[in-house]
A = this chain, B = another copy of it.
Amino acid sequence: MTKAERTRQFIVEKTAPLFNTKGYDGTSLADLTEATGLTKGALYGNFADKDEIAEAAFHYSMKKVKALMKQEMESVKTYKQRLQALLSFFARYVNKPPVAGGCPLLNTAIEADDHRTSMRRVVTKELMATIDFIASQLEGGVKAGEFISTIKPRELAYVFFCSVEGALMFSRVERSNEPMEIVVKHCKKILDQISQ
């Protein structure tokens, strides 16, 4: 890892929580220099502009979230247990987010949906990948005989993911676990219902 690569990594690690907390528009270059202890010269020597830092920060946040998520899931064996672990992971997201500021997917999607085209594409890609991942777990469970074969994995994946993301929004702004706990409980009950 060259010096430049290390500095890029350092900048991204220090600024990712900032972008995730205050948003792209809400994060200034002064915020970035303060968080890193570096000057604009160093920032612009390693990145083309603020957009490039924000995008790298988003990718870093997503990588971190996914790594933690998968780590949690691979500690158990069955597909059902893995999906339960995934739901528990999100439940703990409220009080202990892997990256400060909550879910980078949710935050970035909301800020980017109307007026930030390139970021929108990046988020869309990650969202689709997430649905594919959850759906693949459900499909695996069906093939393994854990879940009844009449379920629609893709649709159920959307239901799980959307309800958890909505609960995350609610719980974070409300500073209360209640919405998330209720939603996760409901999702786990669905998992029980489709088990055989």
Chain A interface (Cβ < 8 Å from any Cβ of B): 21-23, 25-26, 101-102, 106-107, 109-115, 120, 123-124, 127-128, 154-155, 158-159, 161-167, 169-170, 172-174, 178-179, 182-183, 185-186
Cβ of A178: which chain B residues have Cβ within 8 Å of it? Answer: 158
Contacts of A174 in B (CB 8 A): 124, 127-128
- Binding site secondary structure of chain A: helix
Within the complex, which residue of B120, B167, B169 is in contact with A173, where a contact is CB–CB below 8 Å? B120
- Are B101 and A173 interface neighbours, CB within 8 A? no
> Using Cβ atoms and an 8 Å threshold, which residues of chain B touch A112?
173
Q: Please measure, in the bound complex, the distance between the C-alpha atom of A113 and the C-alpha atom of B23, giving whole angstroms.
A: 11
Q: Select from chain B the residue with minimum beta-carbon distance to A174.
A: B124
Copies per assembly: 2
Complex Cα–Cα for A172 and B174 (A): 23
Residues of B within 8 Å of A115, CB to CB, are 21-22, 26
Contacts of A167 in B (CB 8 A): 158, 162, 166
A159 touches B173 (CB 8 A): no
Pick the residue among B22, B166, B182 that contacts A164 (CB under 8 A). B166
The answer on a CB contact under 8 Å between B111 and A23 is: yes
> Which of A26, A124, A127, A178: most chain B CB closer than 10 A?
A26
Contact A170 B162 (CB under 8 A): yes
Contact of A163 among B23, B101, B106, B166 (CB under 8 A): B166
Give Cα A113–Cα B171 distance, bound, in whole angstroms.
10
